[in-house]
Amino acid sequence: MVKLLNPNSDRILWSGETVSEKKSSIQPRLMIFTFILFLLIGGCLFYVWSRIEVIETGYKISHELAKGKKLAENNKKLKLEIAMLKSYNRIEKIAVEELKMIKANPHQVIIIR
């Protein structure tokens, strides 16, 4: 027990608690409140961070899908170009006009198997 003096009078007031007991009962509550506050703030920050990551990943996925479509279109164009270059009519035209070749007679053709 501690004697507390009232500054306005000469009386001595008696309290059932000591000054150190009052401080010690407030301190754990404050620590618990601070800890819970930090957990709440940390949880909110983690939630916001995870949402931002989801949005960024969505943008990356859509960018890669657009890139894939462009590559597929380019692939189709290249396959069409290969088919045109392999065309029998084109090869025959180049052989006759540029290389001055003539068609072989059927008895000149030898089939190898």
- Divide the 113 residues of the chain into consecutive groups of 10 and give the mean pLDDT of each group: 54 57 73 96 98 98 98 98 94 92 89 88
Q: Please indicate, yes or no, if residue 76 is contained in any of the structural domains.
A: yes
Q: Which domain holds residue 91?
A: 28-103
Q: What is the pLDDT of residue 83?
A: 95
**Distance between CA atoms of residues 72 and 68, nearest Å:** 6
Q: Please indicate, yes or no, if residue 109 is contained in any of the structural domains.
A: no
Our CA dihedral for 104, 106, 110, 113, rounded to 10 degrees, sits at 120
Q: Please indicate, yes or no, if residue 10 is contained in any of the structural domains.
A: no
Q: Please indicate, yes or no, if residue 68 is contained in any of the structural domains.
A: yes
Q: Please indicate, yes or no, if residue 94 is contained in any of the structural domains.
A: yes
**Distance between CA atoms of residues 42 and 35, nearest Å:** 10
Q: What is the pLDDT of residue 26?
A: 77
Q: Please indicate, yes or no, if residue 42 is contained in any of the structural domains.
A: yes
Number of domains in the chain: 1
Q: What is the pLDDT of residue 103?
A: 87
**Distance between CA atoms of residues 20 and 25, nearest Å:** 9
Q: Please indicate, yes or no, if residue 9 is contained in any of the structural domains.
A: no
Q: What is the pLDDT of residue 28?
A: 87
Tell me the pTM: 0.53
Q: Please indicate, yes or no, if residue 112 is contained in any of the structural domains.
A: no
